[in-house]
Amino acid sequence: MGRRVTEDYIVEECGYLIEKFESQKGKPFDPIMIMNGAVGNIIVSIVLGERFGYEDPQFVKLLHLINENVRVCGSPSVMEENDTNSYFQDGNLKALITNLFTAGLETTSTTLRWGFLLMMKYPEIQQKVQEEIERVLGSNPPRIEHRSKMPYTDAVVHEIQRFSNILPMDLPHETTMDVTLKGYFIPKE
């Protein structure tokens, strides 16, 4: 649902991101806030129907607060549903938007940064990905329907997701009762 609209926002923001990268004119720069801004703008576009400039003071402050929240907490916040008969209420809407920004922004931009790092470390893989992208897309923006025509790139993306360490701490896990599994005892707490 809404996949095409979301895809349009992503393609539009990619144009702004590429423009921002090109404005660095080959000089070294820290991509963290730029990547966060790009992903954040996609989320803002979905939620509010507009985007912000990467240097907009309120937007930059929001991105810093989200980064700090993820760093301190180590995991995204969890929605509370006090009234199970009403799924669309202010509390749930706030929690949903918070989850979009904390979980969606940080994990996506961190995964993209890992992708950049790994492509720099393995230029032969970067070259194969670039060749496949150029062969399939040419100068067109990527779309969902191109994915099946780019198996090498798809595999590299999945490997980046498998390899990358996207949260400062793993999400908390616990059992609902004491469990013995293949000779190992896992206590509830």
Closest CA to 104 of 42, 153, 156, 165: 42
Q: What is the pLDDT of residue 129?
A: 96
Q: What is the pLDDT of residue 20?
A: 95
Which residues in the chain come in under a pLDDT of 50? 1, 75-80, 82-83, 171-172
Tell me how many degrees the CA angle 148-151-156 measures, rounded to the nearest 5.
Answer: 130
Q: What is the pLDDT of residue 132?
A: 97
Q: How many CA atoms lie within 13 A of 75 on its CB side?
A: 8
Query: CATH top-level class for 3-168?
Result: mainly alpha
3-state secondary structure of 185: strand
Q: What is the pLDDT of residue 103?
A: 73
CB 54 within 8 Å of CB 34: yes
Give the domain ranges of the chain: 3-168
Q: What global pTM score does this model have?
A: 0.66
User: pLDDT above 70 covers what percent of the chain?
Assistant: 77
Q: What is the pLDDT of residue 133?
A: 96
